[in-house]
A and B are shown apart, each in its own frame.
Chain A
């Protein structure tokens, strides 16, 4: 049985964690693979500034540091920011899948240009960072948001009537005004809107969380992990220090 660790980027209770796990229902997975969802201990309240990005990187690194030693075959990161992905790749030999990078590259197998549909504009920096790293800014038709305040715990529950049509309208503008061939949901927290949008939009829309589960399966079966040349190992891993940091954060 292959085991995949899904790192959830905020501390949360079982009820809210189940909303994250519900992403598994959106993809048909083969036999012999299972997913464990683990919330981080170190995190910002949301991802809107550079302070948040640093805390997110450290929190996800801490949460995944022992994944290989614990017997996991791959790690998925449940945030489009790909926070902690590079840091974890530098210390783990198993595949580490970040939905931001993977969904942008997969979008280019489905069309020539993609747009990223976000809840609010304060997420823009998450996408511009990955686009710059990939050097694929010219393949992004637009970054648009629906101007809605997200909630990373309860997600979209109870707000479907207001949020889903607003997201649809913003997505249509990506297609009609910006020339997008493919839409990417700007956050794994938006997964509850995917089916609604997929039914109505005239172009494919990528649900980034479920995509990572399939790509983790592909990476395991193809025995294909990241390049050590691109992600060199540190001279020393700060295992003890990171564990202490995790404990301190959990106690606050």
Chain B
């Protein structure tokens, strides 16, 4: 049995059944928790710092709670690196996993995003060194313009999208970041793989109580 903790930002209001039935193994359990960011929507660095903290607080006990992996549904990957430093279990994030996975399906990917994530996606693409593999980051606008983007894309990644968002583009693979992240997490658990301690060293001293105290959600 694999237990996955899925953390999603409360402002996206993802349904509890965000993962379509049948996508995961029959003995995989996904527990979905919503996390409130102190400053929302997360459109700039101030908001991102607080989102990092909120996600770190929400996930820091995941391993102790008996989860086998953590998935972060926010395409902005907030708090991901911090959680990796704190946890031995895999932490799979919607943004990083879906953009890398898109490159298994085609040579370049395009990202469709709303205004909430636009600047963050640009930052992440650069940070993950995927500038030359990313064909474009496009704001979701009226239908006609979206179709224009879709017409030129090799692989489409929908930031903030889910399998239930109903977006359709025949003949082009569309990566749903949340379902993908959960599936990759399940795969990592079944292969006994997790992140590298060389890339994500443990802190000399954990500050769990401090993190919890300053992140307390009333």
Contact = CB atoms under 8 A, between A and B. Distances in A.
Interface string B6-49: 00000000000000001111111000000000000000000000
Nearest to B192: A198
Interface string B92-108: 10001100110111111
B199 A181 contact: yes
Contacts of A229: 106, 153-154, 171-172
Interface in A189-245: 198, 202-204, 206-207, 210-211, 214-215, 217-218, 221-222, 224-231
B110 to A, nearest CB: 10
Interface string A122-142: 000000000001111011000
Given A134-B133, A181-B199, A218-B184, A227 B155 contact: yes
**A contact residues, range:** 35 or more
A230 B106 contact: yes
Contacts, number: 127
Contacts of B193: 110, 204, 206
Contacts of A215: 104, 187
Given A221-B23, A221-B183, A108 B128 contact: yes
B168 to A, nearest CB: 12
Nearest to B170: A228
A230 B195 contact: no
Given A27-B191, A111-B198, A203-B196, A225 B105 contact: yes
A40 B206 CA distance: 53
Interface of A: 26-31, 97, 101-102, 105-106, 108-113, 133-136, 138-139, 175, 179-182, 198, 202-204, 206-207, 210-211, 214-215, 217-218, 221-222, 224-231
6 contacts: A27-B190, A110-B196, A113-B199, A218-B187, A227-B105, A227-B154
